[in-house]
Structure 1
């Protein structure tokens, strides 16, 4: 009996020793285990494949690392976007990627400042926030240059033009495009007599909003011969409206984005003149890299600008029209 008791005690001591070693090694190992980085991404709308492509590039890197990405779609509703950011704060994300519904909205700015106070890094992508103190990093296309390219092509094609401008007033990126367009026209001698913006139509950057508005405008007597859409979704809606009306005169239509739909229309629709190609793939890759630099407190450029280029009826055959670039 005494020998059996000694044996059990010896086994207990060995078990306790092994357990102690295991706990000690676990203590050493756990700090080396990387924690999961959490990223929250909210885009003004996912009813535009442009933002879906940006998010896919971000998702690729997150999945490779085994981290967490929360993707949200406020559907052009700034109040909903604020709620999404509040949810990101509650989830204790490391980085928020935002494509703002309204870059000038005070409530949105206040909610983002709350996120910053919680130690969350902020990246604005594709369109900016008016308050430059919010974002840790801004990743956008060269929107001013996009407007310049459209204006330069218009000037080259037409010494005079009566223009319908399709805009999205809440997007600061679109305002930059218009500024580049306007400044380039104004650089022309006697531009006031040669180039007239007859009307501006708010489209929210949506095809289904654009189509009935453009159709209504051109169904009336108008001298307009040019449509400048500051995004491709609006340009596609405008082209559909013109096709429905079957006007017996040409209307030159311009867009900005370089979407697959607009590129195909450059090949097939005589009214489609040009679009400025952005690269949501590059925007997404740069956003993904910046997320991890900020998450690990590494330095990142405050402003990252991605180049753009012009696609026209004449050069479209040199590019892939099946998707985004």
Structure 2
């Protein structure tokens, strides 16, 4: 067999490779995509949104996080979720980490409505927009683009109305399990107090006396301890208003331990599945319920609007609704 000279062989090979170009004959006109798809299709996201939740041990905030992730994915963004665990220093460190990572936006449930200010300012200085949901930043150091939350003041008034409906005819002593560090809970208690005060101001009204306001921490264990102390100090207690479902369930456990579950009624707040189940079972009378799925979705919608250069409102409030045992009996979520 005749062998081609090496130089001629290389020339033939080069011509053959050039002939493999597509379309207009230019090499690389068709990028190698084994699936035959467009090489411009990419799994890369437009950016990352950092979310520091108050605590992920509370299912409410996990629902917000999950819905933020789902909605963000529709717009090409990822959401990096971390838990502040009610520690404002830890949350401030998380904001610093978000800045280092170069996130496109930051969302916070402030662990402390005022003390988180310097961390927000740090993000502002780095050119990263900050949004809040559920818990509002209540300070002047940093700047928040938009806050999305339940109308907590309206929800607190609903809780007050429920309490008046429950014991208004007879009156009685009431305790509040608070979480005063959170602006959202401050609004709930404010609305609740206003309705109770208005009832008490009525001619001949049986008085509803708020005899104790204790920090229940917004969690079950601390709610149990606070309720236990309240029961011991006020043996004639008629009812408890708890600012969320975990603290309400902690109060219920304390009442059961003290043998007073039938004496003291509980009104909670949230509408988490555990709270709805407790309402169905008669352990909690009712809740003004929130819609964390809507909060998460709306937060991402406003972030996208901001990125698109559209006008974004400073605050979006989602009304709550009273949820009783009859509602629980017809709730598809509890039939699963």
Question: Which bin holds the TM-score, normalised by the shorter protein?
Answer: 0.7 to 0.9
Higher helix share: 1
1:222-241 equivalences in 2 (<5 Å)? 222-241=235-254
Structure 1's 249 and 277: CA in aligned 2 closer, same or farther, altered over 3 A?
closer
The residue number in structure 1 matching 2:164 is 155
Correspondence 1:265 to 2:273: no
Tell which deviates more after alignment, 284-293 or 38-47.
284-293
Q: Secondary structure at the match of 2:84?
A: coil
Q: Report the Cα offset of residue 232 of structure 1.
A: 1.2
1:216 to 218, 229, 246: 229
Q: Report the Cα offset of residue 228 of structure 1.
A: 0.6
Q: In 1, are the aligned partners of 2:245 and 2:269 still within 8 Å (CA)? A: yes
Q: In 2, are the aligned partners of 1:259 and 1:323 still within 8 Å (CA)? A: no
1:178 to 189, 199, 207: 189
- TM-score of the superposition, structure 1-length normalised? 0.86
- TM-score of the superposition, structure 2-length normalised? 0.83
1:190 to 185, 188, 201: 201
Tell which deviates more after alignment, 62-71 or 223-232.
62-71
Correspondence 1:58 to 2:71: no
Correspondence 1:295 to 2:304: no
What are the superposed Cα offsets for residues 218-256 of structure 1, whole Å, 9 maximum, x if unpaired?
A: 145522111011111111110111112112752110101
Q: Report the Cα offset of residue 144 of structure 1.
A: 0.6
Tell which deviates more after alignment, 38-47 or 125-134.
125-134
Which consecutive residues of structure 2, in runs of 5 or more, have no partner in the other structure? Answer: 32-37
Q: Report the Cα offset of residue 164 of structure 1.
A: 0.7
The residue number in structure 1 matching 2:145 is 136
Q: Report the Cα offset of residue 319 of structure 1.
A: 2.5
Q: Report the Cα offset of residue 259 of structure 1.
A: 1.4
The residue number in structure 1 matching 2:34 is none
What are the superposed Cα offsets for residues 16-47 of structure 1, whole Å, 9 maximum, x if unpaired?
A: xx7x9668999xx9999775311100011111
2:97 to 70, 87, 90: 87
Structure 1's 35 and 190: CA in aligned 2 closer, same or farther, altered over 3 A?
closer
Say how many residue pairs are matched: 319
The whole-number CA distance in structure 2 between the counterparts of 1:156 and 1:146 is 15
Q: In 2, are the aligned partners of 1:260 and 1:323 still within 8 Å (CA)? A: no
Q: In 1, are the aligned partners of 2:179 and 2:215 still within 8 Å (CA)? A: yes
Which consecutive aligned stretches of 4+ in structure 1 deviate over 4 angstroms post-superposition? 1-7, 9-12, 20-26, 29-35
Q: Report the Cα offset of residue 215 of structure 1.
A: 2.0
CA RMSD, Structure 1 to Structure 2 (Å): 3.3
Q: Report the Cα offset of residue 285 of structure 1.
A: 1.1
The whole-number CA distance in structure 2 between the counterparts of 1:181 and 1:189 is 13
Q: Secondary structure at the match of 1:256?
A: coil
Q: In 1, are the aligned partners of 2:240 and 2:264 still within 8 Å (CA)? A: yes
Correspondence 1:48 to 2:61: no
The whole-number CA distance in structure 1 between the counterparts of 2:270 and 2:262 is 26
Q: Report the Cα offset of residue 321 of structure 1.
A: 4.7
The residue number in structure 2 matching 1:127 is 135
The whole-number CA distance in structure 1 between the counterparts of 2:174 and 2:231 is 12
Q: Report the Cα offset of residue 10 of structure 1.
A: 11
1:60-75 equivalences in 2 (<5 Å)? 60-64=70-74, 67-75=77-85
Q: Secondary structure at the match of 2:143?
A: coil
The whole-number CA distance in structure 2 between the counterparts of 1:274 and 1:83 is 38
2:215 to 170, 186, 202: 202
Correspondence 1:164 to 2:175: yes
